[in-house]
Amino acid sequence: MRLFLWVNAAFIYDMLILGALSVALSALFLVIAGSHYEQDQTLRLFFQIAWVLLISAYYLVSWKKGGQTIGMRAWKLRVVGVDSQTLTTKAVLTRFIFAILNLLLLNIGWLGYLLPSRLSLTDKLSATRIEQITKNG
C-alpha cells in the first residue's frame, strides 16, 4: 500500500514540475511568436510537438540517467530492471511506451502496486520495476 501511495505522490510532484516546464515553454513561444501565435496553425502545431517532446525527454532522460524523475527522488523511489540493474535504453523506451498506455487507461495499471507482487502493468510489460531506495543505497 505504501508503494502505491508513494508512486502517486511522485507522479503528482512530477506533474508540478512538468507544469512549470510547460509554462516556461509557453512563455518562450509567446516571446518568439508574439501575437501571431493565435492565428498561425503551424506555430501551434510546432508548440504542441515541442510540448510532447519536452515531456517525453523529461521521463526518458530522467529514467536513463539515474532511474529517477525529480518526483521519484523526493519519495526515494527509482526504476530498475527486474534484475535490479540499471535500465538499458531499450528498457527505458519500452517502459515509456507502456507508461503512456497506462496513462490512457487512467493509471489503472498502478493498482498492481496493491497486489503482493507490487508490480504495475507498466512494470510487468516492460520488465522493469519501481523500488524503494534504502539508506544503504
**What does the pLDDT look like over 72-83, one tens digit per residue?**
999 999 999 988
- Radius of gyration of the CA atoms of the chain, in A: 17
Q: Is residue 36 part of a domain?
A: yes
Cell of 60: 526518458
Are the beta carbons of 17 and 72 closer than 8 angstroms?
A: no
Q: How many domains does the chain have?
A: 1
Are the beta carbons of 70 and 14 closer than 8 angstroms?
A: yes
Q: Which residue range(s) make up the domain with 108?
A: 2-132
CA 80 – CA 127 distance, rounded (Å): 9
Q: Is residue 78 part of a domain?
A: yes
- For 13-37, write each residue's pLDDT tens digit: 999 999 999 999 999 988 988 877 7
SS3 133: coil
**Can you give the pLDDT at residue 1?**
86
Q: Is residue 79 part of a domain?
A: yes
Q: Is residue 48 part of a domain?
A: yes
Cell of 59: 521521463
Global pTM reads: 0.88
Q: Is residue 137 part of a domain?
A: no
Percent of the chain with pLDDT over 90: 76
Confidence band of 137 (pLDDT split at 50, 70, 90): low
Confidence band of 124 (pLDDT split at 50, 70, 90): very high
